[in-house]
Amino acid sequence: DAVQQKLHFLPCNINYDGKANIDKYFLVNKLKDESSTNEREEKELYETFFRGRRLIGKLHEINEEYEGYIFRESSSYVIKRGELPTSVEEMEEPTRNWNTIYKFNSFMVWEHDEIPDSSNNEIVKSLDWLNISKIREYLNIVLINSHNSKHITPPAGVPPGEPLKAQR
């Protein structure tokens, strides 16, 4: 079973692929979103400094319908079926295996000096596609079932009669 992990997407490349003690060295402070005038629309924002640069972060919760996983690739060799090998090269065929190492249900996206959103961050933009695909799935159901005059229920989280829109 995969271990639950915290994820941070930083706006930089780090030439290191291993564990890091982020709880000790990557100190995060909560910020108040002053761009919002409505308290309900207020975003939870965070601030930290990394290598001397200020970063602003936003926590993204994954919808209950989805789960996030991190995989690690490993290689192995299997014997080809139905053939008698004449050499080691013929005997083994490489295969790619993907093993689950971590799972997550939220992640933090960071940008330099600005709030990460779909206009400036590819990861946040990809989340919009999850919402769009849900709406598209609902529209397909409506189109397919419109001739059958059956009652159609909207996807989870959309109240009946509520107009559909992509949500962030």
- Assess if residue 58 is contained within a domain: no
- Assess if residue 14 is contained within a domain: no
pLDDT higher than 60, residue 95: yes
- Assess if residue 88 is contained within a domain: yes
Q: What is the pLDDT confidence band of residue 87, given thresholds at 50, 70 and 90? A: low
Per-residue burial over 110-134, b if 16 or more Cβ lie within 10 Å, else e, is bbeeebbeeeebeebeebeeebeeb
- Assess if residue 81 is contained within a domain: yes
- Assess if residue 149 is contained within a domain: no
Q: State how far the alpha carbon of 21 is from the alpha carbons of 6, 30, 101, in Å.
A: 12, 20, 18
pTM: 0.61
Task: Please give the pLDDT value at position 137.
Answer: 57
113-145, pLDDT tens digit by residue? Answer: 999 887 888 888 877 777 766 665 555 555 554
Distance, in Å, from the CA atom of 45 to the CA atom of 25, rounded to the nearest integer, reads: 19
Length of the chain: 168
- Assess if residue 55 is contained within a domain: no
> In which domain, by residue range, is 95 found?
72-100
Total structural domains in the chain?
1
- Assess if residue 84 is contained within a domain: yes
